[in-house]
A and B are shown apart, each in its own frame.
Chain A
Amino acid sequence: MVTDIGSDRSAEVLFGATRRAVLALLLGRPDERFYLREIQRAIGAGIGPVQRELRQLADAGLIRREAHGNQVHFSANRSAPIFPELQSIVQKTTGTAEVLRVSMAALMSQGLVDLAFVYGSVAAGRQTAVSDVDVLVVGEASLADVAPALKSAQSKLGREVNATVYSRAELRAKVKGGSAFLKRVLSGPRLMITGTDHDAEKLAR
């Protein structure tokens, strides 16, 4: 049974469950190398299906396969011509944004979060092994409301997750007051967790 960390239908249509989980792991942590057993343990799939996916992805040049003595490592292939596009699709559907969407689903259904997105190096696809996931949350949720959801996402993503929580009114006031942080965050690359790019752009004005 594969651990399905996402529920986005577009990801299900594009990739089978094992491929989705393999891509989410390797492209979500593109500067790390994994052994076959590590991948298998992380995604909870059978060894056969994981080997098959890794072989096909490596044959297509989408991931790297490196042999060191008896050991074989697998990692994302940043040189693949479609790496940026593939990473973006995975991040939006099965990867970071979807993990956070699932973790924050209860807050969203309670109406405590109007808008939330990932910004910074992960949203720009420039993350390294030590990059944190930075999240901006707009709504009525408190930090204490958001903390358990982020803790859950953090353990799935294998990265620390930071958040800044604003009410809509305070965010607007700080944007008007010239907050350099908010200007940068609202005009930079985003991975939407909930809400639309248009909502975020409206807040920047």
Chain B
Amino acid sequence: MTLKSWLDNRWITAHTATLGEIEGLFAVVDRDLKDAAVPRLSDDWRLGIAYNAALQLATIALMAEGYRTGRERHHERALQSLAYTVKASTRTVDLLDLVRRKRNQANYEAAGATSAREAEELYKVVEELRSDVVRWLKKHHVGLCPSDVKA
């Protein structure tokens, strides 16, 4: 599988990203990572907020490569695309996909279904992912990397 084959399958569409778009998404990522570190929030919310940051990071990398996800299975495909854009490990992609499923449960069905350890683990993974995406942008799409964003 490649992103080109995803495009042929219509899982993603072609998109020309602008620096402004990427800056906007990084602002969301940084807001979410800041909020996900607030200890007085519930573990469910901290997990959900860190997850949103991961989703935006996946979207940044996919947009920089010239694509965006379609409506169908948008979250799942955005997260899986990390394996093709920034070459995220299977371990990271599998973890994010598990959190995607878990988040539905924690948000809508079962308050308290997240442990503090899970929220902390995800936070660290997303912080690392942010660094990976920034380094990758600087190397492969320097024109789309906001000048004030640090790895």
Contacts and interface: CB of A to CB of B under 8 A. Distances in A.
Whether chain B is bound by chain A comes out as yes
Given A143-B98, A143-B122, A150-B98, A164 B91 contact: no
B99 interface: yes
B105 A170 contact: no
Contacts of A166: 115, 117
A114 interface: no
A160 B91 CA distance: 18
Contact of A144 (B91, B112, B113, B115): B91
B118 A132 contact: no
Contacts, number: 66
B95 interface: yes
Nearest to A146: B98
A144 B122 CA distance: 9
Interface residues of B, number: 23
A179 interface: yes
Main secondary structure of the interface of B (DSSP, over half): helix
A7 interface: no
B112 A162 contact: no
Interface of A: 132, 134, 142-144, 146-148, 150-151, 160-167, 170-171, 174, 179-182
22 contacts: A134-B105, A142-B117, A143-B95, A143-B98, A143-B118, A143-B121, A143-B122, A144-B91, A144-B125, A147-B95, A147-B97, A147-B98, A151-B98, A161-B101, A162-B105, A164-B113, A164-B115, A165-B117, A165-B118, A166-B115, A166-B117, A171-B115
